[in-house]
Amino acid sequence: MSVSIQSSCSLKPNAKTKTGRLSLSELDQIGTITHIPTIYFYKPSLSNWLQPFTSIVDILKDSLSRVLVAFYPLAGRLHWIGHGRLELDCNAMGVTFIDAESQSKLEDFGDFSQFSEFHCGGFSISLTLSHVVVDGQSALHFISEWARIARGEQLGTRPFFDRKVLRAGGPPISGTLFHHKEFDELPLLIGQSNNSEERRKKTSASQLKITKAQVEKLKSKANESKSMDNGGGYTRYETLTAHVWRSACKAREHKPEQPTAMGICIDSRKRMQPPLPDGYFGNAILDVIAVSNSGELVSKPLGFASSKIRDAIQNVTSEYINSAIDFCKNQQDLTKFQDIYALQGTDEGPFYGNPNLLLVSWLTLPIYGLDFGWGKEIYMGLGSVDFDGDAFLVPSHDSDGSLVLAICLQADHIKAFEKYFYEDII
Strand partners, 321: none
Instruction: Give the integer Cα–Cα distance in Å for 268 and 284.
Output: 5
> Which amino acid is located at 97 in the chain?
F
Q: Is 426 exposed, middle or buried (0-12, 13-18, 19+ CB in 10 A)?
A: exposed
Between β-strands 203-210 and 95-102, what pairing exists: parallel, antiparallel or unpaired?
unpaired
Whether the bond between 187 and the residue before it is cis, its omega within 30 degrees of 0, is no
Task: Enumerate the active-site residues.
Answer: 131, 371
Q: Is 365 exposed, middle or buried (0-12, 13-18, 19+ CB in 10 A)?
A: middle
Torsion angle defined by CA atoms of residues 24, 26, 28 and 34, in that order, rounded to the nearest 10 degrees? 120
DSSP state letters, 215-238: HHHHHHHHTTT--STT-SSPPHHH
Kindly list the strands in the beta sheet with 85-90, ordered across the sheet, starting from the edge strand earlier in the chain: 20-23, 85-90, 77-82
Nearest partner of 133 among 77, 95, 81, 94, judged by Cα: 77
Helix (H, G, I), strand (E, B) or coil at 356: coil
- Confirm if 288 and 182 have CB atoms less than 8 A apart: yes
